[in-house]
Structures are given as structure tokens and as C-alpha cells.
Amino acid sequence: MKEPECDDVTLQDFVDGWLDAAQEGRVREHLAACARCRAEERQLRRLLARVAELPRTVAPPHDLWPGVAARLGGRRASPPAEVEAIERPRRARSWNVRRWVLQTAAAIVFTALGAALGRLIPDAGETTAAAVRPASSSAFAAAETEYLRAKDALWLVAASRRDELSPVTMEIVRRNLVLIDEAIWELRQALAADPGNPHLESLLLAQHRRGLDLLRRLSARSA
């Protein structure tokens, strides 16, 4: 029968050895008088004894090394591709003007973006062992690579009629892409100071995704 003074958490602390002498004394007194708590204590100790016998190693069902080996070695992002001006034939009905606007905006934006991104990518020259960058885990090394690849692809989408841009909109897009870039930069600096911090990694991935989504939106409209 559980009474108010049958405090299971205290009993647990007692079994675990967290109580000081005075507290232990009180628990022992209670145990002497309470059959229920004595039974609790017995069962708890029995459980812990069984747990202590669990094997500390368990062989994985199959060899996981190949999967690990494939992910080692850290990828380096490639430098931005050269901008290729692509002349697109004008359509007879130009009601898709908006799409041209965005194509052009994307192309111009990435001239600026490429410069900004250059800061984010470690120099290929840093190859000493100490500089095997702890900053990227494989998951977001992949995300970063995807982001840069998408950006590369967008470099190739260049419109010919830059004069049809809405300068206001283009400026907004440029400013916000730089905002995302700066967020990414801040996160990478924080990660460099605290490598492997899962919160930071996930925040960084989210920003990469955001940048990528924005680029995708722009490039999809340009199709």
C-alpha cells in the first residue's frame, strides 16, 4: 500500500547512491517499516542486476564499414562556373515577359552572389591534416554541394534583355540572397567554434535549403 512517505524517486536515489548519510538513514528507517517499499527496492535492484549483465557490444548484422568509408574524405565545392551568355530566341507572343525578367534577375544576382559565396568556400589550398574541416558533417556537406551546384546551373541561365528588369525587384532579390548568405556565414563561424553542434548544423542546413528554394523558385519560373 503506497503511503505519502513512500517516495519512489527518493528510493531510486537511494538505490543509485545519491543520498547523503542523513537522507539514507531516513530511507532505511522507512524501509524497515514499509513492506511495499522493501519490495520496490528488491525489484529495482533485481532489474539493475539484469541490466548490468547486458552485453556492451553488439556486432552489427552486416559490415557497416563500406558505408562509412564512402562518406569520408570531405568534398570541396567547385569554383563558380563561367557565366555563359545564352541568346534565347524571342517568342512571337511575349506575354512571358515576366519569366524573362526573372531569368535576367537570376543571372545578374549571381554575379554578385558568386563573389559573396566565394567567401564561404574554404580554399582548396587548405589541405593539411589539421584543416580537415570539422565544420561539415556529411549531411550538410551534401546540402552545401547541392546549393552550389544549383547556383552553378543558374549561372548558365542568362537573359539578353537586361533592360526589361524591374530594378526594384532585382535589388530586393539580390539583397535577400545576400541576407541568406550572411546567415550562412554566421552559422559557419559559430560551427567552427563549436564543431558538430547539432543545433547549429540543423540551422545551417535550413539556411542552405532556404537559399536553394529561393534559387529554385527563380529558376523554375525562368523555364
- In DSSP notation, 43-112 reads HHHHHHHHHHTS-S----SS--HHHHHHH-S---PPPPPPP---PPPPPSS-TTHHHHHHHHHHHHHHHH
- Our CB check for other proteins shows the closer of 84 and 189 to be 189
Q: Is 43 in the site for other proteins (CB under 8 A)?
A: yes
- Our CB check for other proteins shows the closer of 83 and 138 to be 138
Q: Is 21 in the site for other proteins (CB under 8 A)?
A: no
Residue 78 and residue 214: Cα distance in Å, rounded? Answer: 21
Question: Smallest distance, Å, CB 84 to other proteins?
Answer: 25
Which of 33, 47, 124, 153 is close enough to bind other proteins by CB under 8 A? 47
Residue 121 and residue 151: Cα distance in Å, rounded? Answer: 13
Site pattern 179..208 for other proteins (x: CB under 8 A) = xx--x--xx--x---xxxxxxxxxx-xxx-
Which of 17, 57, 85, 123 is close enough to bind other proteins by CB under 8 A? 57
Picking from 183, 174, 179, the residue whose alpha carbon sits closest to that of residue 206 is 183
Q: Is 72 in the site for other proteins (CB under 8 A)?
A: yes
Which of 1, 21, 35, 51 is close enough to bind other proteins by CB under 8 A? 51
Q: Is 223 helix (H, G, I), strand (E, B) or coil?
A: coil
